[in-house]
Amino acid sequence: MLTCTPTISFLEQPQQLDLRQEMMTLLRQIGPGHMMNTAYDTAWVARLHKLGEPMAEEALDWLREHQLADGSWGAEQPVYHHDRVICTLAAAIALAERGLAEDRVRVERAMKALDKHQTWLHLDPAGETVAFEMLLPTLIAEAKVLRLIPRGGTAMLNDMARTRETKLAKAPGRLISRYTTMAHSTEMVGQDALHLLDIENLQESNGSIGHSPSATAFFTLHVWPEPKALNYLSTNMANGGVPDVAPFDIFEPAWTLWNLALSDRNDYKMLNMCRRHLNFLETSWRVENGVGFAADYSCRDGDDSSLVFEVLGRYGHSTNLSTILQYEEEDHFRCFALESNPSISTNIHVLGALRLAGLPAKHPSIQKILTFLRRQKTVQNYWIDKWHASPYYATAHLIIACAGYYNTLVEDAIEWIVDTQNVDGSWGHYSATAEETAYSLQALAIWRQSGQSVPNSTLKRGTAWLLEHTEPPYPPLWIGKCLYSPTLVVRSAILSALMLNTYTENPLNGTYPELSFSC
């Protein structure tokens, strides 16, 4: 355990929110995972009309209601072109297959929007959405059968088609089972490569394919309308739509508790509410490979494992560091096996785990991560990762991991955060958001706690803005097969940032300044 030095965060703000009560409410709500519906996954469920499934008609209605003004589907804000392309193509196919006259205009508008967003893919700062290069060629082939042929991008699509073939050939044993992350994107095989599916070992215990509604819908449509799979889809449908992932019962409590631990606002009542979540995380932990984003998901990964390791350690639960070290590669730490490119945020979270375990900054594994992250730093002095569309997420988490431990790596990033604050006090890479403002305030507060200088006015203006913008909905900034928002995780970051930067009412001792720890 690291030695922590108490410091005082002294910014007093008009308090309209009972932060402690809000966090306790959040701790009661977290569990299987709360996520917004997504157009991409809902479009796959809509295609089950071929099987006469009633839920398909609900999904089709959801798509009709959620087409955006320019004819596309996906997140309204931010405009992330990979998200718009994959969501729009999937939705257009679903509506075209249904074949209703009322949908023809919708599909025509969709194809025009698709042509536009396809030419702007290079503008997305975090790059492709998950499995984009595998999913798009399959969807394009299906669109052509329906005479929906997007214009342009021929060379790009040909490159993606070759990439798809190369990656499919790398499946262990040349078969895709639940033990490989490919299962999460099973629909990428299309109807031409169903032979690559290890059908007997594909489904998870909850009936899903990779905890993915879209992959599960593909399975029921083209492989087997298995009752547990259909039940999984209907159970996870809300208001006609489905999310990108369900459940994610490790990811949600782990990130929430990590955010709460930063503020150190842990009286005995709150700690008691944390206990069941900590016990669940500890019970789900496997010495050989840690955890995945869900307890029953067959694939474990370095990102969730590192964050859970740190969370358990912060709350006094011991785990074996060898679990984290087994994710070590030659020049970085991996998130998943067979990943195309390393995850920056995974390496940041591994850094946090190794630091908590007491490894000195000179340790070879620490130096490996620092060297990797130094190479990944942008000319603008921030980091951006494949799991999140905003640089404020990865950059803030790295500042927190380095503050008081390896300051030199992130000093320029602190300046970047201060310099990019909007006039009204907010932050946002695309437009102002509570989520990105929270990350910035968390990083600056922890930086100050480590003994470094942060302008009071920056923290005060940011906190004042955030207090006025705490409520959902939150724009989807997280990257899956399309953009999504894990609502309660985002809210926990917002509450954590406010706890770090305001006074609050303590029901035991009256009003007190935030007592926090620079770890």
Instruction: Break the chain into its structural domains and give their ranges.
Output: 5-34+247-518, 39-235
Q: What is the predicted pLDDT for the residue at 174?
A: 74
Beta bridge partners of 515: 8
How many angstroms from the chain centroid is the CA of residue 383? 16
CA distance 31 to 28: 8
Closest to 265 measured CA to CA, from 509, 2, 1: 509
Q: What is the predicted pLDDT for the residue at 153?
A: 54
pLDDT in tens, the chain (519 residues): 333 333 334 344 444 589 999 999 999 999 999 999 999 999 999 999 999 999 999 999 999 999 999 999 999 999 999 999 999 999 999 999 999 999 999 999 999 999 999 999 999 999 999 999 999 999 998 998 999 976 655 566 667 667 777 767 766 667 999 999 999 999 999 998 999 999 999 999 999 999 999 999 999 999 999 999 999 999 999 999 999 999 999 999 999 999 999 997 778 889 999 999 999 999 999 999 999 999 999 999 999 999 999 999 999 998 999 999 999 999 999 999 888 899 999 999 999 999 999 999 999 999 999 999 999 999 999 999 999 999 999 999 999 999 999 999 999 999 999 999 999 999 999 999 999 999 999 999 999 999 999 999 999 999 999 999 999 999 999 999 999 999 999 999 999 999 999 854 333 222 223 323 233
Q: How far apart are the first and last CA of the chain?
A: 9
Please state which CATH class domain 5-34+247-518 belongs to: mainly alpha
Architecture of domain 39-235: Alpha/alpha barrel (1.50)
Pairing of strands 514-518, 5-9: antiparallel
Does 39-235 match 5-34+247-518 at the fold level? yes
Q: What is the pLDDT of residues 90-110, one digit of tens each?
A: 999 999 999 999 999 999 999
Structure tokens belonging to residue 501: 């930067």
DSSP one-letter string for 378-393: -TTS----TTBS-HHH
Secondary structure of residue 492 in the 3-state scheme: helix
CA distance 287 to 180: 19
CA distance 380 to 257: 31
Rg, Å, the chain Cα set = 23
Q: What is the predicted pLDDT for the residue at 3?
A: 32
- For residue 128, give the DSSP letter: P
Backbone angles phi, psi at 357, to 5 degrees: -70, -10
Pairing of strands 504-506, 510-512: antiparallel
Secondary structure of residue 129 in the 3-state scheme: coil
CA distance 466 to 471: 10
Q: What is the predicted pLDDT for the residue at 44?
A: 98
**Residue 337: HSE in the Cβ half-sphere, 13 Å Cα cutoff:** 14
